[in-house]
Chain A
C-alpha cells in the first residue's frame, strides 16, 4: 500500500482509489483521415516501455474522478511527481542523464 498525491484534491490518497491508464501525453492526430495506416496504428497501439522514468496517465477513480499524470520510475516504482492533465512534467529522462 502506498499513497499518491492527487493534484486536484491536493492531498495524498490511498493507492486503491486510483487506476493506471497507460502512457501519458499521447496526442490524437489532428487529422485522422490523412494518417497512413502506420501512423494511425502507432497512435492506437504502440507504447513506450522504458526502463526508468515513465510518464503515465492515472485517474483518481474513487475520488474526484479527474485524470492526471504521474512521472514514475519503472525500476523501483518510485513516483517522482504528479501533475495536472494539461501540464508538462518537470522531471524527464533526458534531465536525469
Chain B
C-alpha cells in the first residue's frame, strides 16, 4: 500500500449516506404495504365486537442495529441515546414511544415514530464507533397488533411456537414461522401481540389473519 493511501486511510472518517425517508418537504409519499386494504374505512364501518382486534401501526421507523456487546460505544451509545439498555436473548425493552427487540446475538430491531427515525439514526451514529451497522428498513416491513380474548387462538393457527404464559410471557419476542411466512412476534400484553411482517408478505398476512379470525369475529381498529 502506498504511503499516500495509508495516510488517507488513517484520516478516513466513516462515510454513510443518510436519507430522511419521511421528509417534511415535498418528496416521495410513504405508503403502507396495506394501504390498498383501507383499514381506516374498515375500522369505521366494520364489526365492533370481535374476539380479535387488529390494528396496523403503519409508517413507523424501523432501524436494524448490528454490533457486538463487546463494543462499549455500541452498547453505551444505545443506552445513552434511547434511555434503555439493549435487551438480552428473546427479550424486548421500551422507553417512551420507542421499543427495541432482540433478533439475534448481534442484532436488534428498534422501532420508533416514523418522523424520529432519521434524527435518531444520526444521533446513534454520532455516539457509536467501531464495527457496527444501522440500517433503516422502515419501508421494508410493517407492524400489526393483534389483541382480544381470541388473539391467542389466531396465533395458535399461525405458528408452531409455544404461546403458553410460562413459555411466552409479556415482553418476550421471537422470530419464527407465521402461516407460510415469518414474523417477529412480541407479546405486549396479556391479550395483546405485536407482529412485524415483511412488506412483500403484508397482504398475505392480512388475508391470512382475516381468514383465521373469521370464526371469532374480527374488529379492525384505527
Residues of A with Cβ closer than 8 Å to B? 1, 8-11, 13-14, 16-17, 62-66
Partner of B89, one of A1, A9, A14: A9
How many chain B residues touch the partner (CB < 8 A)? 13
Q: With CB as the reference atom, state the residue of chain B lying closest to A63.
A: B175
Main SS at interface, chain A: loop
For this complex, 26 residue pairs linking A to B, each with C-beta atoms less than 8 Å apart, are A8-B105, A9-B89, A9-B174, A10-B89, A11-B90, A13-B161, A13-B176, A14-B160, A14-B161, A14-B176, A14-B177, A16-B160, A17-B177, A62-B175, A62-B176, A62-B177, A63-B174, A63-B175, A63-B176, A64-B103, A64-B104, A64-B105, A64-B175, A65-B104, A66-B104, A66-B105
The proximity string for B residues 71-106 relative to A, scoring 1 for CB distances below 8 Å and 0 otherwise, is: 000000000000000000110000000000001110
In the complex, what residues of A have CB within 8 A of residue B104's CB?
8, 64-66
B153 an interface residue at 8 Å Cβ cutoff? Answer: no
> In the complex, given contacts A9-B89, A64-B175, what are 18 additional A-B residue pairs having Cβ atoms less than 8 angstroms apart?
A1-B160, A8-B89, A8-B105, A9-B90, A9-B174, A10-B89, A13-B176, A14-B160, A14-B176, A17-B176, A17-B177, A62-B175, A62-B177, A63-B174, A63-B175, A64-B103, A64-B107, A66-B105
CB-defined interface of B167-183 with A at 8 Å, one 1/0 digit per residue? 00000001111000010
Residues of A within 8 A of B105 (CB): 8, 64, 66
Min Cβ gap A30→B in Å is: 22
1/0 per residue, CB under 8 A from A, across B134-174: the answer is 00000000000000000000000000110000000000001
